Amino acid sequence: MSIDLKLENLDQLFPSGFSQEQIAKAKTLFLKQLAMDAHKFYGGKMQTIPKAGIFGFNWFNVWYTPGVSKISTTIRDDNDTSFDLSNRGNLVAVVSDSTRVLGDGNCTPPGGLGVMEGKAFLMKYLGGVDATALCMDSRNADGEHDPDVIIEFVKRLQPSFGAVNLEDISQPNCYKVLDTLREECDIPVWHDDAQGTGSVTVAGLINALKVAGKEMGNVRIAMLGAGASNTTIARLLIKAGADPQKMVLFDSKGGLHTGRDDLKADPRFYRKWELCQATNPEAYPDMATACKGADVLIALSKPGPDTVKPEWISSMAEKPIVFVCANPVPEIYPYAAKEAGAYIVATGRGDFPNQVNNSMGFPAILKGALTVRARKITDEMAIVAARSLARFAEEKGISPEYITPTMDEAGVFPYEAADVAMQAIKDGVARIDMTRDEAYALAEKDIQYARSLTGDLIKNGYIQQPPAEMIEAAIKFAIAEVS
């Protein structure tokens, strides 16, 4: 078997006699098995390396004692100099209690390390940002997962970081954690499951609607799932021009509407109750009813492939737009959604067209915020990032199979980062001022450096290529499981 290390066309790895359903299942199994073997091979995916050099013995005395004493006292006298004199200005803490890891639920505190290292990996390669995975135990003395424990943890680590990326924190704790830290911290605190997913989904929908010839304010939107992701998507869509009266969300207990006394009575779910008051005036009883005549279906719920029903899509309006973004398996496979009549289908995975995934947002959004030393990331910054992504794709030429940029389009990240930096200045949350050209140049320089560094490490053998046998074994495993 001849193996292409780039793995550019996964469909071709499997027998020609496989059905589309078998190929879709085999790809998921293959990627999971290869991930397991590759993580064992490398021992994770991140390491720490110096960015300063040793040019002779006395450079140890420059980087450490006695020279470094001057750095300590300078920062003591002006804490903001820590952004210039240490790596703090380009360093993000990726914080999680691992209570809601992808579609796998509570994975115990260390169980989130694979995802958090993954966020750090993408931040470095795509955004030129350094990041550290910090999986913590959020249980209090009673053994309950307590949002106040996470809040205290993040507040205390602020002096070492330029920003914090919250990740995989279960609801309702995630709402209080983000909203409290956004207001009480002096550095940006960003919840990527919520704000990141919201931003890239808005970007994808902006262009999907253009391709379909529809207007944001006129379309009916049905949303399956009402966790941190979809509730934030709904909130940002409303800010981007969607009509909340034409929007409906469903959680595991039914539609969100003013009759949901269970949410009204529980102050921990205040974000969901806000949407109960703003959306779904018809109080649709179920998704099947809500989808009839709807223009858009956005699902971030239980992994599929049978969570979204084909008949729901068939009942939608002309040229229906379907976002099925559960990971690791979308709520319905794209081929099945197309067979049911979907005009545009997006998922959270890069092995299908139209990947609507946080990876297009957080590296550049955090880079833009760090570039101007923002104190927070506003909703307006997230909306600007969405419009920036949409504009970048539109300039290349959008279509039903291309509504957002992809991760291999390196130019999108400094482009987006610069727009975010300008919005931070406009919103009054930036510590320093600069032009868009200056912000773009700084982001582009760091991103190119990160990519070149990774390339040189591979070229010089410090990062070894995975053996072909590893990939072959993962392919054979997937084929055997699906056959």
Residues known to be catalytic: 64, 119
Torsion sign across C-alpha atoms 136, 142, 143, 148: negative
User: Burial code of 279-305, b = ≥16 C-beta within 10 A, e = fewer?
Assistant: bbeeebeebebbbeebbbbbbbbebbb
Is residue 265 within 8 A of residue 190, CB to CB? The reply is no
- The tokens describing 380, both together, are 């307006």
First and final CA of the chain: distance in angstroms?
18
Distance CA 209, CA 178 (A): 30
Distance CA 432, CA 430 (A): 6
- The tokens describing 4, both together, are 């292409």
CA dihedral angle for residue 428, residue 182, residue 258, residue 281, rounded to 10 degrees: 40
Distance CA 59, CA 213 (A): 63
Question: Residue 71: exposed, middle, or buried by beta-carbon count in 10 A (0-12, 13-18, 19+)?
Answer: middle
Residue with structure tokens 């990519």? 451
Residue type (1 letter), 283: A
**DSSP label at 390?**
H
Beta-sheet pairing, 321-324 with 344-347:
parallel
CA dihedral angle for residue 288, residue 294, residue 300, residue 304, rounded to 10 degrees: 50
Beta-sheet pairing, 247-251 with 254-255:
antiparallel
List of residues 6+ apart from 396 with CB closer than 8 A: 402, 405
Distance CA 436, CA 422 (A): 6
